[in-house]
Amino acid sequence: MIKSLFYISIFFLLFSCNTEPTMKVDVADVPVPQLTINRLEEDVFALDTLHIKESVGKVHRKYGNFFNSYISGVLNTGGVTDSSAADMLKRFIRDLDMKDAYSNLKKEYPDVEFLKNDFTQAFKYYEHYFPKRKLPKVVTMMSGFNYSVVTLDSTIGIGLEMYMGSKNKFYDALGLPLYKKKFMNRENIMPDAIRGWLLNDFPYNMNKNDFLSEIIYLGKIMYASDALLPETPDTLKIQYSVKQTQYCTQNEFNVWSYFIAQKLIYTTDQAEIMKFTKDGPFTTAFNKAAPPRIGYWIGYRIVKKYMKSNPDITLQQLLDEKDAQKILTKAKYKPTK
């Protein structure tokens, strides 16, 4: 199943498995397999359109099930074995706009060595905190402007055309809003990819479906993102501007008080929950200065306080915890004015 994205951050020093993962740990000696990043977009646009079925078969053998999922779920052209899939793929790579976009992508990303280095470092942290879990493969692709990141078949797929710079002409042509465009840059790839993989590897496991459980779950994912990307700025991981981050810090007491006063903490009304968890230019329930997804930010703050108050809890134990009320109670979360 395809998963997309978004969210959070913070860092600093010290060692040991049980310390806060927001404290930087030494992973220099953690062994991880040598990473190879295959570039599916290059293989797709190099297909021999005069012998498309045979050419598609070769790419399918190289990428396995991921390619089948890419064809059917990302490009929505049917399965590899679908009789019309090859012709639809031919139209995709011959489309003038897609060819132009691919040309732009190649200029922006002639190589992805930086991703190899960044993922290798993140995987060292992943191996440190989750030694029993399997590391994913990494593939770059062109999704037809459908997805930034997908997690399929134990693979992180990165749609590089979604990271060609916030001022890229294609984003204006597509009518993408500013709040989305400003995070479609090279530096956003790793936060998006790691968040997406964590959402895939640790799917929703809370024992309730209320507001508190949802924001705590995403708070756990945000906290884990900190652990794997300790050097990445907060604003990139949370997808907030500096001003938006400052708003959250300055209004934490007011936001939490509002949730309590409006009896939102335990609501299961999805319409109400969405007001504070959906993406957008701002949180409409407050004002235009309030960033979107502010409920998730509160969830992250609760989780952070919980881990600080309970230093013996490991990151794995945090992610396994299903009881949001337990986390809230043991966090002793009480923001001050």
148-189 pLDDT, tens per residue? Answer: 999 988 999 999 999 999 999 999 999 999 999 999 999 999
Indicate whether this model's pTM tops 0.85.
yes
Output the pLDDT for position 5. Answer: 35
Axis crossing angle, helix 211-228 with helix 294-309, rounded to the nearest 10: 70
For range 81-107, the mean pLDDT: 89
How far apart (Å, rounded) are the C-alpha atoms in residues 167 and 187? 14
Cα radius of gyration rounded to whole Å, the chain: 21
Q: Which residues pair with 38 in a beta bridge?
A: 139
As a whole number, mean pLDDT of residues 313-326 equals 98
What's the pLDDT band for 9 if we cut at 50, 70, 90?
Answer: very low
Task: Give the pLDDT of residue 88.
Answer: 85
DSSP code at position 297: H
Distance of alpha carbon 210 from alpha carbon 303, whole angstroms: 16
Cα separation, 96 vs 103, in Å, equals 10
252-295 per-position pLDDT tens digit: 999 999 999 999 999 999 999 999 999 999 999 999 999 999 99
Residues in the chain: 337
Local structure of residue 260 (DSSP, 8 states): H
